[in-house]
Amino acid sequence: MSYYDNHRFRSAGKVALKVLRITVGVILVLLGLIGGLIPIFQGWMLGLPGLALLSVDVPFVRKWYDRIKERIHKQPKKQ
């Protein structure tokens, strides 16, 4: 196996990982949105990890996720 063949496999693996990350992120965000409508199901528990996964590959989601993280860290702690 030459260098170019090995490089092609690595690059295909990176693309497959990116597609998997985006797919799982979208599924988690959708489940989080659905969970926000159902009182028994906690939507934010799936929505935030979904945003975290999507923020790796999607720039505008990264901005949303950074804003959410800032809001969480700025809130005063309850004693």
pLDDT in tens, 26-54: 999 999 899 888 877 788 788 888 988 99
> Is residue 38 in a domain?
yes
CA atoms within 13 A on the CB side of 34: 6
Indicate the helix (H) or strand (E) that contains 63.
Answer: helix 59-74
Residues 6+ apart with CB under 8 A from 42: 35
> Is residue 49 in a domain?
yes
- Give the pLDDT score at 66: 87
> Is residue 68 in a domain?
yes
> Is residue 17 in a domain?
yes
The residue segments making up the domain with residue 30 are 3-74
- Give the pLDDT score at 64: 85
Q: Look up tokens 């989080």; give the residue.
A: 32
> Is residue 69 in a domain?
yes
- Give the pLDDT score at 6: 62
The pTM assigned to this predicted structure is 0.71
Domains: count for the chain: 1
> Is residue 79 in a domain?
no
- Give the pLDDT score at 8: 65
Percentage of the chain surpassing pLDDT 90?
16
